[in-house]
Chain A
Amino acid sequence: MKILVCMKQVPQKDAPLKLNESGTWIREDVSYEVNEPDAFALEESLRQKEKHGGEVVVITSGPARAQQVLREALAKGADRAIHLEDNAFVGLDAFNTARAFAAAIKDEQFDLIFTGLQSDDYGYAQTGVVLAELLGWPHATIIMHIEKNDAGIRVKRELEAGYFQYVDMPLPAVLTIQSGINKLRYATLIGIKQAKNKPLRKVTLAEVQSAIGANLQKIERLYVPQKTKNTEFLEGPPAEVAKKLVDKLRNEVRVL
């Protein structure tokens, strides 16, 4: 199977974030890491390749720093990489990112495209789904298991409250992968060394410019939630205080 894995570089989860001057996004001077569900998507693709043969290609968009994500993927066993390299890609909404990806892979024949369930920064959970629509492929989200069969694949989706759904799908298809579907492997020294010689195709903004349009979504304002703390003393005899407390917990705080 030939699998494309869409990966994103996101600010590290514990990084202290600072807003940019216009208050629409964060300042770039933070450390970055691989978007967590994307790491699981990559691992799943490598396991599928180990079982069924084929090729794993990884793709990302963003400035030069985003290449780190691809290098890590190549070190873990991906065969080649595609980097849509331009700072402008960071500002694209999910729809445009999907259109840029679709344009960049128009000459490729993939059986499967994996994305992480959502990104840890924007959290749209849209790019994979939109990409499927653009390609005219079926898709399934929140994937917990993938089994290849003669007709295509059988996937397990995570639903609410501990329920799962099993779906049979034809190929090609787009799957968005849930974190925890597998156990991540470590990159090895030899893997890191070999990754240096694996092909990495760079795609400029100009090459995909005609495919993308104006953003349909944008962030108006980003702000740090105000922390407030109110202390209220309930007074009176214990029975009365208890009654007031229950009333507050039920009707104001709504935890009862």
Chain B
Amino acid sequence: MLIFRKPLENVERPQMPADVVIVGGGPAGMACALRLSQLIDQHNVAQPDAPLSKENIYVLEKAREVGQHCLSGALLDPRSMRELLPGFEKEAPLDAEVTKESVYFLTEKGKLKFPVTPPPLRDHGNYVISINRFVKWLGSKVEETGITVFTGFAGSELLYGLDGDGNRVTGVRTDDKGVDKENQQKSNFEPGYDLQAKVVILAEGTRGSLTKQLISKFDLTRNSNPQTWGQGVKELWEVPSGRVAPGEVIYTMGWPLTSKEYGGAWIYGSKDNVVSLGFVTGLDYPDPRLDPQKVLQDFKQHPFVAKLLEGGKMIRYGAKSLPYGGWWALPPLAGDGWMIVGDSAGFLNSARLKGIHLAIKSGMLAAETAFEALKKDDSSAATLGAFQKNVEASWIKDELWKVRNMHQGFEHGFYAGMFHTGLQMFTGGRGLHNRYPSKAGYEHMKKLAELPPDGGGEAHLLGPAKGDGKLTFDKLTDLYHSGTKHEEDQPAHLVIRDTDICNTRCVKEFGSPCQNFCPANVYEMVEDTTQLNGKRISLNPSNCVHCKTCDIIDPYQIITWVPPEGGGGPNYDGM
């Protein structure tokens, strides 16, 4: 019997007043905190008789340490950082400046180099970074300002106003700690706090769990395109010197994916012969047996890639979903008491495969609006709505508007996608329509009965990967390199609304794709003779790398990812 995590009821919770609570200490959240502090400092110099305090501004971060749950390629477009901290290059941990980029189309054994790098993938002037180290550094800047970063604390629920119509966000409840597998209090139980906040800024990253609650409560995305995601699976390698120069960037399209899947790979040369490589597979693929971790393993076996890695050593592994629905998939960005920034909103440029600079910029703009709200002591939608307008007036919109139809163009496969992308490039992003429609990714998944039993042309993408232990790895070996750790004695944080669907319908209709799309072996169908189909869903929540893929792509939409006890999760040191 699976028991799922939920905030305990009938518990007296400590209350803590807050001016601003930023949920999530990634690039967006940290940039937001930093900008807010700058504005308050300037204000306090200008108006010493009416100072604003930073005492009650908090950042909640579910990782045990800042940056440990951050995962990206990563390339940093410095535009927003230059606005936030002019001259930041001198002190930020930047591993290499991009000096060379190339784009290839791969066939099974061959490769075709694009004669010209497509403009969106021209990365000169960007930096290869470890997002983990970069955010750690940003976090230390935030700590210096006097703003408190609570590491090891997740936002588990939003609080809504009891007065009036209850439609106002009034704060955040943090996770209950010391709850056992049966949802009972342990002797060291600590109830989650109710942070009563004037302004809540959701900077949770991809598929934020509070963001999801908020969107669903107010049906916020009724006028947006459905958000679409990819799953990025990354490995960090140490390779013999001379293989990939620091600052060298390689993108590939094609193999191992076929024309039916969306996605591609990156290879970035960092310092000290470290190479970051990864594969993003669109979470809108048709075959439920596809395994994105296997896709990366296939990719590494391509002669071009295998040669770069030969004699090297895989040192870290990680996986994370990324939103690339773009401009039309953004939810409204602000309302009564709340704003949404970064990946939680979907600020990612899918043509450039970059979102860090947009996350930072959106965090900064939200800080400017939060600052106005503090000054006026009014955080109603009327005040916070300025954030929406400011985003629309900023270069975020300029950048995203040009690629607003990019991903939708690929809805009907690779070749249609290339056609639309080409067309959109010449029409300022418009293509055939000002707004291309799209379907949610999970709706593209087909039932086994509609697919060739052996996978047909996709056979090589279907999991699980076996791994040779040198170039390729099975999932558990990879997972070990993610440094993932959780308190074992706690309820499952992968909340399945109805496990009967898993055991009776999904196993037959889709063949339990959770076993394939999860990059961390969390889901397992175990033998159970009492079940109609002889199998039962079982969970290994401690393996979870917090990628949120299950929450996104499960075809019945019955899985909700909620934060486990704060402090647990992967450890993406150096990633």
Contact = CB atoms under 8 A, between A and B. Distances in A.
Given A189-B150, A189-B174, A31 B571 contact: yes
A183 interface: yes
A138 to B, nearest CB: 31
Contacts of A31: 65, 68, 483, 571, 573
B477 to A, nearest CB: 13
B568 to A, nearest CB: 12
A31 B63 CA distance: 13
B190 interface: yes
Interface string A9-42: 0001011100000000000011100000000000
Contacts of B68: 31
A186 B65 CA distance: 15
Given A186-B177, A186-B178, A14 B148 contact: no
B567 to A, nearest CB: 9
Q: Is chain A's interface secondary structure helix, strand, loop, or mixed overall?
A: loop
Interface in A162-199: 183-190, 192-193, 196
B174 A15 contact: no
Q: Which residue among A12, A188, A193 has the maximum number of chain B CB atoms within 10 Å of its CB? A: A188
Interface string B172-216: 001001100000001110100101000000000000000000000
Interface in B141-196: 148, 150, 152-153, 174, 177-178, 186-188, 190, 193, 195
B464 interface: no
Nearest to B67: A31
Interface in A190-221: 190, 192-193, 196
A192 B150 contact: yes
Contact of A185 (B14, B190, B316, B571): B190
B174 A14 contact: no
A29 B575 CA distance: 12
A188 B188 contact: no
Contacts of A29: 573-574
B317 to A, nearest CB: 11
Given A15-B483, A16-B315, A31-B65, A188 B190 contact: yes
A14 B569 CA distance: 13
Nearest to A189: B193
Contact of B16 (A187, A190, A196): A190
Contact of B573 (A15, A190, A192, A196): A15
Interface of B: 14, 16, 65, 68, 148, 150, 152-153, 174, 177-178, 186-188, 190, 193, 195, 315-316, 481, 483, 485, 571, 573-574
List the 5 closest pairs (A to B, CB-CB), nearest first: A186-B177, A186-B190, A189-B193, A183-B188, A31-B573
Given A31-B65, A189-B150, A193-B148, 5 more contacts: A12-B571, A29-B573, A30-B573, A31-B483, A190-B14
6 contacts: A14-B483, A15-B483, A16-B483, A31-B68, A183-B188, A187-B152
